[in-house]
Structure 1
Amino acid sequence: MSFAAIRRIASPKKALSVVAVAAATAGMALAAAPAQAATTSASSAQAIAHRMIPDTAQYNAFNQIVTHESGWNHTATNSSSGAYGLVQALPGSKMATAGSDWKTNPATQIKWGLDYMNSRYGSPAQAWDFWQTHHWY
C-alpha cells in the first residue's frame, strides 16, 4: 500500500492503523508519527482549503495568496509585523472570531481568511488581484 493511498483515507488515526497493519503484514517495524502531525502539514491544510473552497478559480487564488504569505505554514509568524498564520492576520488574534483554536488549527485560519477575503475584496480572486498589484492584501 502506498503512502499516497493512505493519505486519501479520511482519518489520520485510521491511516496510521492501516499503515500499522500493512507494516505488520510485511514484517516491517513501524515508527508512527503522532496523529497531530498529519493534520497540520501544508498538504493537509491545502486539502482542507480545497474542501472549504470548491470553486477552482477561487481556490487557486486563495492558494496563491497563502503560498506567498506563509508557504502554507499555519504557525508562520512575521518577525517584523507579528502577522500570524496561513493568511498572515495582523494581529493574529483577529482569527479568534473564527474559533478559539486559531493558533493551532489550519481550518480555523482558512475560515477566517476566506471570510476576510470575501468581506474586504468580494472573493479570494479579487483579493489575489489586489495582492498582485500591491504585494499585500
Structure 2
Amino acid sequence: MSRISVRGFAVASATAVTAVGSVVGVASGSVAQNNDAEATAADATLLSDIPVGQQAQVQTASLAQQADAQAIAADTTAKKDAEEAARKAAAETAIAKKAAAEKAEKEAKDRAEAKKAASRSATRDASSFPVQSSYTVAQVQAIARQIVPSGQFQCFSNIVDHESTWNYQAVNPSSGAYGLVQALPAGKMASAGADWRTNPATQIKWGLNYMNQRYGSPCDAWSYWQANGNY
C-alpha cells in the first residue's frame, strides 16, 4: 500500500510511522524526542481526520488501473492475432489462386496440343493407306486409329458407331447422308479426296477435320451428339 501514488494516503502513512517513532523516544527518556512526540500527536490528530474509507478507495482505484492496463494489453494482443490471421488467410488465398491459374494454364496448353495433334493427324494423306476393293470393320477401325489422336479416338468411334456402325458405304435413304460419319451432302467429303466414296481413310480424314473445325475436337462433337442426337 505504501507504493500507491495517492498524496493523502502517503502523508497519512508517513505520519503514522512518525508517531510510532515518537512513542519509542518517549519511552527511552529523551528530552529532544518529547518535542517530536508533541508534533507527532498533532500529526496523529490529522490522521484521525482522514475518512475511514480512504484506504479502500485507494485500493479500488489501483485495481481499476490494473484492470484497464490488462484490458489494453488484451486488446493489443487480440488485434495482433487478428492481423496475423488476416495475413495468413491472404497468403493462403494467393497460393490457391496461383495454383488454380497454373492448372488452368496447363489445361489450356494440353487442349491446344491435342488440337494441334489432331490437326497434324487429320492432314495425313489418305493415299498413305493401301487402297483396297473393300474393307472389313476391323480394317477401317485400324485405319482410324492411325489418323485420329489416341485421346480422341473413343469419342470419334462413339459417333461412327451411332452414325454408320463403321460401314464406310452406309447411305441414309431419306437424307442421302453417306459414309462413316454420314456427311450431308455426301459430296462435301471430296475436299479430303476424290475417292471419298470408296476409301474409308478419306472419309475419316474429312470427318476428323469437320469435328475439329465445328466443335473443337471429336470429344466435343460427341458431347454435342449426346445432348442433341446428332452433330
TM-score (norm 2): 0.43
- For the residues of structure 2 that align with 1:127 and 1:43, how far apart are their CA atoms? 23
In the alignment, structure 1 residue 100 sits paired with structure 2 residue 200: no
Over residues 45-78 of structure 1, what are the superposed CA-to-partner deviations in whole Å (9 max), with x where a residue is unaligned?
111010111323x000000000000000000000
In the alignment, structure 1 residue 36 sits paired with structure 2 residue 130: no
In the alignment, structure 1 residue 110 sits paired with structure 2 residue 204: yes
Matches within 5 A, 1:120-135: 120-135=214-229
TM-score (norm 1): 0.71
- For the residues of structure 2 that align with 1:54 and 1:136, how far apart are their CA atoms? 22
Show structure 1 runs of 4+ deviating over 3 A: none
Runs (5+) with no aligned partner, structure 2: 1-128
Shift of 1:91: 0.6
Q: Greater helix share, 1 or 2?
A: 2
- Partner of 2:198: helix, strand, or coil? coil
Matches within 5 A, 1:1-137: 36-37=133-134, 40-56=135-151, 58-137=152-231
Shift of 1:36: 2.7
Work out the percentage of aligned pairs sharing the same amino acid. 59
* Greater length-normalized contact order (CA 8 Å, ≥ 6 residues apart): 1
- For the residues of structure 2 that align with 1:54 and 1:113, how far apart are their CA atoms? 13
Aligned length: 102
- For the residues of structure 2 that align with 1:90 and 1:60, how far apart are their CA atoms? 23
- Partner of 2:190: helix, strand, or coil? helix
- For the residues of structure 2 that align with 1:83 and 1:36, how far apart are their CA atoms? 22
- For the residues of structure 2 that align with 1:100 and 1:73, how far apart are their CA atoms? 19
